[in-house]
């Protein structure tokens, strides 16, 4: 796996996580407003498979859950910042826009992207997760086991 | 695994399939016709992009270190510190040539497991200098590499005597490429 040299690893990890799951229309509308500088490719978008690993209950042994389709790319802005994207699915455009957003977030003009893409994106994904959790909770069934009393 | 500094990474081929095919074709042409110059854009770097992958161990001379991040990024090749462990060697200046007998020479059963050197030189000409002969050369050919002197010539003659073992060499001069396979005999 590619490891990257970075200045603010925690912040960057956070926005990479969000960008990887960003819907295309949000990225497109951000792109239209942000007008990022021209870029050149270090690695053109390419689609492949990645194995998703999981732990049951968060504590069990790691196991291979299954493979997902992944598209990645790396680009460099004219101003020198490098943007990396690993996004789920086969959309090359989505990977390109996510990498552009990553590069812009590292640049001096990062604030616009933080306010107009990352913040609404975080809100939207949190809302989605909350909805999903509420729906799941509605179907929750509690199982009780009654132990037989001794002597009867 | 150490981190790759993306700021130091050079762009790869514009089109990975056609680019690496063209570089491979140039390498083939250069090795099958020793003593001729083959055009190949960014020759040393292109050879690296075309020939390396996760299974080829690479050694870089001090002057070629700047290629390290790019080659690692585009090909995933591991870098090694000891010349004896390397499958491919990038030598950035002729003065940094490692001693040929210390390199992986292959065995009589598996002569293909030997090292390949990719040497960047600042001058390459086919009009004077050494006299080359051997497979792929009709009669004799000329090659002049001012950076490589008599010490290299002696090492190369020892390399030829080990046949079928021995190393192969690519000489790169910007966008020009010349191959010296182990079968080529050089007279000073």
Interface contact flag, B7 A82, Cβ < 8 Å: yes
Tell me what the pLDDT averaged over chain B comes to: 93
pLDDT surpassing 50 at residue A19:
yes
* pLDDT, averaged across chain A: 88
Angstrom distances, CA of residue A53 to CA of A11, A16, A95, B7:
24, 19, 22, 31
B184, B133 Cβ separation under 8 angstroms: yes
List the strands of the sheet with B88-91, edge to edge.
B38-39, B176-180, B168-173, B116-120, B88-91, B58-60
Is residue A151 over pLDDT 80? no
Which chain A residue's Cα is nearest to B1?
Answer: A3
Q: How far apart are CA B56 and CA B166, in angstroms?
A: 17
The pairing of beta strand B116-120 with beta strand B88-91: parallel
Select the residue from A6, A42, A107 to test the B interface by mutation, using most B Cβ atoms within 10 A: A42
The pLDDT tens digits for B98-137 are 999 999 999 999 999 999 999 999 999 999 999 999 999 9
- For residue B188, what pLDDT is reported? 83
Question: Is the per-residue pLDDT at A152 higher than 70?
Answer: no
Burial class (CB in 10 A: 0-12, 13-18, 19+), B27: buried
The answer to whether the beta carbons of residues B159 and B167 sit under 8 Å apart is: yes
Which residues of chain B make contact with A84, given a CB cutoff of 8 A?
Answer: 6
Mark which residues 79-138 of A lie under 8 Å from B by CB.
80, 82, 84
Q: What structural domains and CATH numbers belong to chain B?
A: 38-187 (3.40.50.11310)
pLDDT for position A129: 94
Give the pLDDT of residue B74.
94
Coil, strand or helix at A31: helix
**Of chain A residues 62-81, which have a CB less than 8 A from chain B?**
74, 76, 80
Nearest alpha carbon to residue A19 among A109, A107, A108, A91: A91
CB contact at 8 A, A26 and A124: yes
Query: Which ranges in chain A belong to alpha helices (H)?
Result: 9-20, 24-34, 92-106, 110-113, 119-138
Give the one of B3, B12, B16 whose C-beta lies nearest to A4's C-beta.
B3
- The pLDDT tens digits of the residues spanning A87-140 come to 999 999 999 999 999 999 999 888 889 999 999 999 999 999 999 999 999 998
> Does the structure show a pLDDT above 50 at B1?
no
Bridge partners (DSSP) of residue B131 are B142, B187
Average pLDDT of the residues in B142-164: 93
Q: Where would I find the beta strands (DSSP E) of B36-181?
A: 38-39, 58-60, 88-91, 116-120, 125-133, 141-144, 168-173, 176-180
Give A117-129 pLDDT, tens digit per residue: 999 999 999 999 9
Helix (H, G, I), strand (E, B) or coil at A77: strand
* B51 Cα distance to chain centroid: 11
Note the pLDDT tens digit of each residue in A29-67. Answer: 999 998 889 999 999 999 999 999 988 877 889 999 999
Model pTM score: 0.82
B61: CB partners within 8 A, 6+ apart: B89, B90, B91, B92, B93, B96, B97, B98
Q: pLDDT tens, B20-60?
A: 999 999 999 999 999 999 999 999 999 999 999 999 999 99
A5 touches chain B (CB under 8 A): yes
Q: What is the pLDDT of residues B64-111, one digit of tens each?
A: 999 999 999 999 999 999 999 999 999 999 999 999 999 999 999 999
């Amino acid at each position: 796996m590619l490891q990257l040299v970075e200045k603010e690893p925690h912040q960057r990890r956070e926005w990479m996580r969000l960008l990887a799951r960003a819907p295309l229309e949000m990225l497109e509308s951000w792109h239209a407003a942000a007008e990022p500088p021209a870029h050149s490719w270090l690695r053109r978008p390419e689609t492949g498979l990645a194995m998703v690993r999981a732990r049951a209950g968060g504590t069990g042994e790691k196991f291979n859950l299954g493979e997902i389709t992944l598209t990645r790319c790396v680009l460099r802005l004219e101003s020198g910042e490098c943007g990396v994207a690993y996004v789920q699915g086969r959309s090359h455009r989505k990977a390109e826009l996510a990498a552009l957003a990553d590069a812009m977030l590292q640049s001096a003009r990062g604030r616009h992207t933080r306010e107009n893409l990352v913040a609404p994106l975080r809100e939207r994904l949190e809302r989605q997760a909350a909805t999903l959790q509420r729906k799941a909770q509605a179907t929750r069934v509690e199982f009780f086991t009654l132990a037989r009393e001794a002597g009867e | 695994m150490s981190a790759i500094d993306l700021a130091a990474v050079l762009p790869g081929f514009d089109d990975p399939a056609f680019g690496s095919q063209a570089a491979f074709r140039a390498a083939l042409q250069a090795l099958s016709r020793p003593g001729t110059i083959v055009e190949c854009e960014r020759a040393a770097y292109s050879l690296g992009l075309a020939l390396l992958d996760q299974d080829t161990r690479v050694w870089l001379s001090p002057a070629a270190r700047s290629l390290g991040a790019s080659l690692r990024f585009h090909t995933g090749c591991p870098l090694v510190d000891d010349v004896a462990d390397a499958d491919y060697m990038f030598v950035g200046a002729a003065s940094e040539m490692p001693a040929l007998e210390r390199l992986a020479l292959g065995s009589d059963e598996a002569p293909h497991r030997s090292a390949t050197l990719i040497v960047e030189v600042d001058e390459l000409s086919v009009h004077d200098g050494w006299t080359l002969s051997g497979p792929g050369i009709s009669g004799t050919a000329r090659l002049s590499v001012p950076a490589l002197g008599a010490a290299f010539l002696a090492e190369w003659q020892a390399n030829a005597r080990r046949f079928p073992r021995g190393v192969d060499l690519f000489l790169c001069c910007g966008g020009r490429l010349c191959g010296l396979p182990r079968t080529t005999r050089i007279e000073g």
